[in-house]
Amino acid sequence: MKNPEKRNKKKRIENKVNRLLEMPQEIASNLPKITIIGFEKMLIENYKAILEYQEFYIRISTYYGILNINGYSLNLKEMTTEDLLILGKIESVDFETITDEE
């Protein structure tokens, strides 16, 4: 098991450095950034992997949980190692949080 005090101290140091460098929080911490434009376009930044991909359902793994996208005619239009662009009729989005059990 890791020492919680040591982990918290490391996190505080990282936060101070990021503030000094004026780094956006989503870049510095791998937080997913989700931008939805209307009901037909979604940009996901800082994702880990595509878990499931179908025309009506897409599951995306992020560093903090799993993103579920429901709709129809869903299509992965553009994909890089850091960003995903999804097009189609987006009906709902939900997020499953991963809990740290250490």
DSSP string, 70-101: EEEEEEEEEE-SSEEEEEEEEEEEEEEEPP--
- pLDDT value at position 81? 87
Q: In terms of pTM, does the model score above 0.75?
A: no
- pLDDT value at position 22? 60
* Residue range(s) defining the domain that contains residue 53: 31-102
- pLDDT value at position 1? 47
What is the distance of C-alpha 45 from the center of its chain? 6
Report the CATH number at residue 71.
2.60.40.2000
Looking at the fold, whether 24 and 40 belong to one and the same domain comes out as no
Name residues of the chain where pLDDT drops below 70.
Answer: 1-29, 100-102
Our count of domains for the chain comes to 2
